[in-house]
Amino acid sequence: MLTKLLQRPLWVCGVAVLTLTANSSAQLTTYDLQERLATESHAGKLHGHAKDSAMNYRRYCVGCHGELGDGNGENAQWLDPKPRDFQLGIFKCRSTPTGTLPTDQDLYDTIGRGLDRSNMPVWNALSAQDKIDLVAWVKHFSPRWEREKAGTPILIPPEPEVTPERVKAGQEVFGRVQCWKCHGVQGMANGPSASTLTDDLNRPILAYNFTDGSRPKCGNTDQDIYRIFMTGLDGTPMPSFSDNIKPEEAWDLVFYLRTLQPMNGFNTKERQIAKQLGLKPVRPTQ
């Protein structure tokens, strides 16, 4: 009995300690951040230091991303989509495989490119040094960079020449891996699953509409499009298809997706081919 009485407080204390530990690791404090001010970043010849970016983060970023980088800045409540929670260390735009950390270059490119269809502006008016320092600052919010290395960028094979056969093959891939379920058979973001999509934090999220002229979030070159569906957009329902489609099929899909987009001019080669082929929207399959 005595043993039991002694054991109970110990057990309760143990649970309390574990709970507190869990809380302390989940809730970042300014003390933790001070400890990580030595975080660095590297992209090409640029070297960034978190400690040099405090003022720029406060000037440009804190209103949305918050003092602690948790996406809870004063304006976050008005924004949709919500600002990124840097503490999670999960990023949409990466050159690295799904589930891995992005490279510093990926973060640098995102800051300079901005994120269309969100409130994240194009910050290319900032100097290269300011941007690479901000990359280090972004990294210092998440403990992931202390435990993991950034992933290895995927290899993107040289872009083949677009042909009618490749466009048709791309449409076949579009149907086979069921892109239409979210993006719709005409790429209008109205697939049967579109209205049910949520991000990893269970917040509603929209599929990309290929037809409204907006830029994809992670870049609009053919290489960017290829990269998006081979790495996936972590934190969103957009998975990586690297295990489902071969590199040449990925290029075919890029060419087919271009037939849906009005943005680089209506007379892109892909659109001309689609017109010549008389391509009809894919037929939904189970």
**Which residues of the chain form contacts with another protein (CB under 8 A)?**
52, 55, 58-60, 62-64, 67, 74-75, 78-79, 114-130, 214
Q: What angle separates helix 164-176 from helix 269-277, to the nearest 10 degrees?
A: 80
Find out whether the peptide bond into 81 is cis, omega within 30 degrees of 0. Answer: yes
Residue 45 C-beta: closest distance to another protein, Å: 11
Q: Which is nearer to another protein, 64 or 182 (CB)?
A: 64
CB atoms near residue 96 (< 10 Å) = 20
Please give the structure tokens belonging to residue 36.
Answer: 């990580």
Q: Which is nearer to another protein, 124 or 198 (CB)?
A: 124
C-alpha span between 16 and 12 (Å, rounded):
6
Q: Amino acid identity, residue 106? A: D
Contact in structure between 94 and 231 (CB atoms under 8 Å): yes
Contacts for 96 with CB less than 8 Å, ≥ 6 apart: 102, 103, 106, 150, 151, 152, 153, 154, 231
Min separation Cβ 83 and another protein, Å: 9
Residue placing its CB nearer to another protein in the complex, 109 or 130: 130
In the complex, the smallest distance separating the C-beta of residue 181 from another protein, rounded to whole angstroms, is 24
Nearest approach, Cβ of 131 to another protein (angstroms)? 10
The string over 177-189, giving b where at least 16 C-beta atoms fall within 10 Å of a residue's C-beta and e elsewhere, is bbbbbbbbbbbbb
Least Cβ distance, residue 207 to another protein (angstroms): 15
